[in-house]
């Protein structure tokens, strides 16, 4: 775990090293992923069956058997304990309400020259949703990816989830049913991404692929981008916690470990203005690791990538946060909204000591699919806008063309595009040039 102090002479070097930590792993698997994608493109369903047998230990009789049936979904959903089903519904309702509220309005503007300008929003036709699978599956990811697509009006949502030994987590299927997903395939890894991007005899291609996955899935999404759209290349999870000494060190420690337990490559950073409080949090992290079920993962993450930064004041903390551009940001100070106003770069922010980031992972409402690896400098979290397209349009009558057409003719001539200019000039009854 790294300790930094902005008062130290070597702080700039230490902070730069923290910013440059390499936690991504997709480059290491690019060649293997390219081979899988090429194989799926060439052999289609046969390749999917081979990879499913090899990687998941499950050998369906044919490609049609890769699809989860309605009867299987019904049986799995019936096995979900009522309390969990209710928790899933609470999350779904809140996520749906927040994302429906995001839906934009079409634009229509009459300008002074007599033209009408507009912008129309339309949903994508088909979206592919990748969900990590097996016993340690994430139904929350199903809700967070599928509900915004459904809110946007996407007509078809196809979901791929690996099924080790043919088994699927019942709660994942329950989440899919709650989010309105009916097309589910027992396929994982890069081969699932390839199938959704290029299509096979059994699986129709989609227009955009969203959802988290391992390094192979992330690399595959990068390689099929252009053929289809993608949400982002998700890297290891991360959190920056801005906390003053009025907080309980045990609470802050658990907030840091909540990210660290995701992955050995995850990163948790505490920024505080109180050295004694920093020491107390570090001690609380060590104590919490003693009985945390995922202590091996969380401990490795904290040891390799964790950091505690001592600052002079919160202005300094805000500047460092903007450099870090974290996926998750917790602000636990006397006036969190005021400090949040100074933050330009963060995927999602959680304000106040009663708002841990884990709330946003499940039931708060905003999306938990967020930009990682400092990409919050230019990227945003998943929303309904990821499932919509904008089409601009223009309507003009003769008076409008006469008002602005000569300027277009002049610019076309300057660019040497004669046909462009003539297409306007002929309508104006004048020679071009």
| Least confidently predicted of 10-14, 21-25, 408-412 | 21-25
> What would the mean pLDDT of 368-389 be, rounded to a whole number?
96
State the DSSP string of 1-43: -EEEETTSTTHHHHHHHHHT-----GGGGHHHHHHHHHHHHHH
What per-residue confidence (pLDDT) applies to 289? 97
The C-alpha torsion from 144 through 149 and 151 to 154, rounded to 10°, is: -160
Q: Are 368 and 140 in contact (CB under 8 A)?
A: yes
pLDDT in tens, 297-344: 999 999 999 999 999 999 999 999 999 999 999 999 999 999 999 999
Residue 26 has pLDDT above 90, yes or no: no
What per-residue confidence (pLDDT) applies to 135? 52
pLDDT in tens, 400-424: 999 999 999 999 999 999 999 999 9
Percentages helix, strand, coil for the chain (3-state, rounded to 5) are 50, 15, 35
| Least confidently predicted of 16-20, 23-27, 36-40 | 23-27
Assess whether the region 2-24+235-364 and the region 26-230 belong to the same CATH fold.
yes
What per-residue confidence (pLDDT) applies to 309? 98
> Strand locations in 298-368, DSSP E?
307-310, 328-332, 348-351
- Residue 359: CB atoms within 10 A of its CB come to 12
Question: Which has the higher per-residue pLDDT, 25 or 382?
Answer: 382
**331 phi/psi in degrees, rounded to 5:** -120, 110
Please report which confidence band the pLDDT of residue 24 belongs to, taking 50, 70 and 90 as the band edges. Answer: low
Cα–Cα distance measured from residue 309 to residue 300, given in angstroms and rounded to the nearest whole number: 19
- Cα distances from 14 to residues 11, 20, 399, in angstroms, run 5, 10, 64
What per-residue confidence (pLDDT) applies to 384? 98
Q: Please pick, among 96, 238, 264, 327, the residue that the annotation labels catalytic.
A: 327
Q: Please pick, among 305, 328, 345, 368, the residue that the annotation labels catalytic.
A: 328
Residue 432 has pLDDT above 60, yes or no: no
- Residue 1: CB atoms within 10 A of its CB come to 17
What per-residue confidence (pLDDT) applies to 212? 87
What per-residue confidence (pLDDT) applies to 431? 65
- Cα distances from 327 to residues 18, 173, 210, 299, 301, in angstroms, run 15, 27, 17, 20, 16
Please report which confidence band the pLDDT of residue 232 belongs to, taking 50, 70 and 90 as the band edges. Answer: confident
What per-residue confidence (pLDDT) applies to 197? 98
What per-residue confidence (pLDDT) applies to 28? 80
Please tell me the CATH superfamily of domain 26-230, with its number. Answer: Nitrogenase molybdenum iron protein domain (3.40.50.1980)
What per-residue confidence (pLDDT) applies to 234? 81
Q: Are 255 and 330 in contact (CB under 8 A)?
A: yes
Cα–Cα distance measured from residue 225 to residue 219, given in angstroms and rounded to the nearest whole number: 10
- Give the start-to-end residue ranges of the domains of the chain: 2-24+235-364, 26-230, 396-425
Question: Which has the higher per-residue pLDDT, 11 or 215?
Answer: 11
Look up 327 and say whether it is catalytic.
yes
Nearest CA among 145, 161, 151, 156 for reference residue 230: 145
What per-residue confidence (pLDDT) applies to 214? 86
- β-bridge partners, 351: 331
Q: How far is CA 216 from the centre of its chain?
A: 16
Residue 167 has pLDDT above 70, yes or no: yes
Determine the 3-state secondary structure of 65 from DSSP.
Answer: helix
Look up 16 and say whether it is catalytic.
no
Topology adopted by domain 2-24+235-364: Rossmann fold (3.40.50)
pLDDT in tens, 100-147: 999 999 999 999 999 999 999 999 999 999 998 755 678 999 999 999
Please state, rounded to an integer, the average pLDDT across all residues of the chain.
95
Q: What percent of the chain has pLDDT over 70?
A: 97
Residue 433 has pLDDT above 80, yes or no: no
């Amino acid at each position: 775990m790294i300790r930094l102090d902005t008062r130290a002479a070597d702080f700039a070097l230490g902070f730069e090293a923290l910013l440059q930590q390499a936690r991504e792993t997709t480059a290491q698997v690019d060649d293997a992923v390219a081979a899988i994608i090429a194989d799926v493109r060439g052999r289609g369903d046969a390749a999917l069956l081979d990879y499913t047998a090899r990687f998941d230990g499950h050998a369906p009789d044919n490609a049609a058997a890769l699809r989860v049936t309605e009867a299987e979904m019904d049986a799995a959903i019936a096995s979900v304990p009522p309390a969990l089903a209710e928790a899933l519904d609470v999350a779904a309702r809140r996520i749906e309400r927040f994302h429906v509220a995001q839906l934009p309005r079409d634009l229509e503007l009459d300008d002074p020259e007599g033209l009408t300008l507009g912008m129309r929003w339309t949903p994508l036709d088909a979206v592919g949703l990748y969900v990590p699978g097996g016993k340690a599956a994430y139904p929350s990811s199903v809700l967070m990816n599928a509900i915004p697509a459904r809110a946007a009006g996407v007509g078809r949502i196809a979901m791929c989830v690996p099924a080790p030994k043919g088994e699927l987590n019942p709660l994942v299927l329950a989440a899919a049913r709650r989010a309105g997903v009916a097309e589910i395939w027992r396929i994982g890894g890069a081969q699932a991404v390839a199938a959704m991007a290029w299509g096979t005899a059994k699986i129709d291609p989609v227009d955009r692929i969203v959802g988290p996955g391992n390094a192979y899935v992330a690399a595959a999404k990068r390689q099929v981008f252009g053929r289809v759209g993608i949400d982002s290349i998700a890297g290891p999870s991360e959190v920056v916690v801005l906390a003053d000494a009025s907080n309980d060190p045990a609470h802050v420690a658990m907030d840091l470990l909540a990210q660290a337990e995701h992955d050995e490559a995850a990163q948790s950073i505490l920024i505080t203005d109180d050295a004694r409080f920093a020491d107390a949090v570090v001690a609380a992290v060590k104590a919490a690791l003693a009985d945390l079920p995922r202590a091996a993962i969380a401990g490795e993450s904290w040891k390799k990538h964790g950091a505690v930064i001592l600052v002079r004041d919160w202005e300094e903390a805000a500047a460092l946060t903007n450099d870090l551009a974290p996926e998750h940001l917790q602000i636990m100070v006397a006036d969190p909204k005021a400090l949040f106003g100074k933050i330009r770069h963060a995927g999602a922010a959680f304000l106040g000591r009663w708002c841990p980031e884990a709330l946003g992972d499940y039931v708060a409402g905003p999306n938990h699919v967020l930009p990682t690896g400092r990409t919050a400098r230019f990227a945003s979290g998943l929303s309904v806008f990821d499932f919509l397209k904008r089409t601009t349009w223009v309507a003009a009558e003769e008076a409008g063309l006469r008002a602005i057409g000569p300027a277009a003719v002049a610019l076309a001539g300057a660019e040497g595009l004669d046909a462009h200019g003539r297409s306007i000039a002929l309508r104006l009854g004048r020679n071009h040039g």
